[in-house]
Amino acid sequence: MRRLAVLVVALAGALPATASAQDTQLLVKRLTGEMRAAGSLSGAYVQNLDTGRALFRWRRHSPRILASNTKLFTTSAALARFGTEGTLSTTVLGDGELDAEGVYRGSLYLRGGGDPTFGSRKFARRSYGGGGAVQDLALLLDDIGIERVTGRVYGDESAFDSLRGGPESGFGVSVWVGPLSGLSFNRGLFTETGRGYQANPPAFAAARLDDALGARGIRVRLKPRERPTPADAELLAVEPSPSMDTVVRITNKPSDNFFAEMLLKALADHAGGTGTTARGARIARRFATRLGAGARIADGSGLSRGNRASPFRIVRLLAAVSRRDEYDAFRDSLPVAGRDGTLYDRMRRGPARGRCQAKTGTLSNVSALSGYCDSRSGDTYVFSVLMNGVYPTSARRLQDRMLQALVKYG
């Protein structure tokens, strides 16, 4: 009997501690106080991810403006559709033939596949640690023996529509995003240092391939232009984007609006037909609805105030993703409290540091924070705090105190 008692004690010590009733009461009191301070246009919901039980409810069913919490819907849908190892490829096709002397008798078509990283090797390395590079395509064309091109290089952006922005900017170029294109080069920036935007992204990208070919000694007779690829063109070279888990991490950690809008259009392109913001939004919305997380989705980034969901629905989304194969990649894409991304300078001290991963969201009078926290008790919590009608700086302080309490007492 004594041996059995010792074993029971040892096993009990190995199990994670759970929050006491007193701690839970204190936690709910703390969370309630912070939400009262946020005002009547704010809501929150916290659920124990391990048990599925609700811990805290505060106007949880009222839809709120999401701001960049919209990216939770965009990126979860992208991971589901493409898989963590999926890529978005930029290709070169040709409408001619390569002769024995290395002369390609015809034109080359640089066709975009919606890769938000595509551009120069230097820009991609500096901005993202790597990405699709025009120099790699030029190398591949050199490797198959092309020494001269009798036609020209065409840029083809037809994977997406030609609208340069989303609804927030009237579908024109937004300073918060940059010009969208199925064939984007260096985020649509005119210079690598970020001065100005390209007037014609596909023609600009075609010119950069022309330059890269010239740098390898491959002469192209005619000047680059924009044109869709003929249906019977032959595939000559492929340059993939980084894997989708990396693209999603680049999107969520710094809350990159350009990447989010490109991913939304890529969802529509991959589903068949032209990549548009409206079609991509429908796909993201349908995916969320299948997970029990209905929402109004207007764009990929959250710049539009038409993006709305309740804290309850966001928690449903996050909890459902936790049961999917993409969960690790999705959670790893979120900023870590006090360490990186848009949370690098928040909760740098206290129990929440390093234990919470969450997506931020900010617009004028809007602040949001939703994600996951591992409490000191060993339980994991999923939460959503959507604050509307607030001053964002003050709202962030309320949210940070809520997460500190959640980790400490949860």
Band of pLDDT at residue 21, cut at 50, 70 and 90: confident
Token pair listed for 240: 């993939």
DSSP 230-279: PTTPEEEEEEEPSPHHHHHHHHHTTT-HHHHHHHHHHHHHHTSS-B-HHH
**Contacts for 42 with CB less than 8 Å, ≥ 6 apart:** 35, 58, 59, 64, 385, 386, 387, 388, 389, 390, 395
- Whether 10 has a pLDDT exceeding 90, the answer reads no
> What average pLDDT score do residues 187-210 get?
95
Mean pLDDT confidence for 151-180: 97
pLDDT band for position 23 (cuts 50, 70, 90): confident
What angle (nearest 5°) sits at the alpha carbon of residue 133, between those of residues 221 and 214? 25
Helix (H) or strand (E) holding 399: helix 392-409
Query: What number does CATH give the domain 17-81+248-409?
Result: 3.40.710.10
Q: Does position 125 have pLDDT exceeding 60, yes or no?
A: yes
Mean pLDDT across 141-158: 98
| Minimum mean pLDDT range among 134-143, 186-195, 286-295 | 186-195
pLDDT 10s digits, 308-326: 999 999 999 999 999 999 9
- For residue 209, CA distances in Å to 91, 202, 356 come to 11, 11, 43
Q: Which residue has the tokens 């999917």?
A: 324
What integer best gives the mean pLDDT of the chain?
94
Q: Is the pLDDT of residue 91 over 70?
A: yes
Mean of the pLDDT values across residues 294-309?
98
What is the pLDDT averaged over residues 179-201?
A: 95
Work out the pLDDT band at 71, boundaries 50, 70, 90: very high
Cβ neighbors of 172 (< 8 A, separation 6 or more) are 163, 164, 165
- Confidence (pLDDT) at 18: 64
Q: Is the pLDDT of residue 76 over 70?
A: yes
- pLDDT reading at 215 higher than 60: yes
186-190 contact pairs (CB < 8 A, 24+) = 186/119, 186/120, 186/123, 187/116, 187/119, 187/127, 187/258, 188/258
Question: What is the percentage of the chain residues whose pLDDT exceeds 70?
Answer: 95
Q: Class of 88-242 per CATH?
A: alpha beta
Provide the pLDDT for residue 403. Answer: 98
**Band of residue 15 on the pLDDT scale cut at 50, 70, 90:** very low
Q: Which residue has the higher pLDDT, 154 or 14?
A: 154
Cβ atoms of 371 and 340 closer than 8 Å: no
The domain ranges of the chain are 17-81+248-409, 88-242
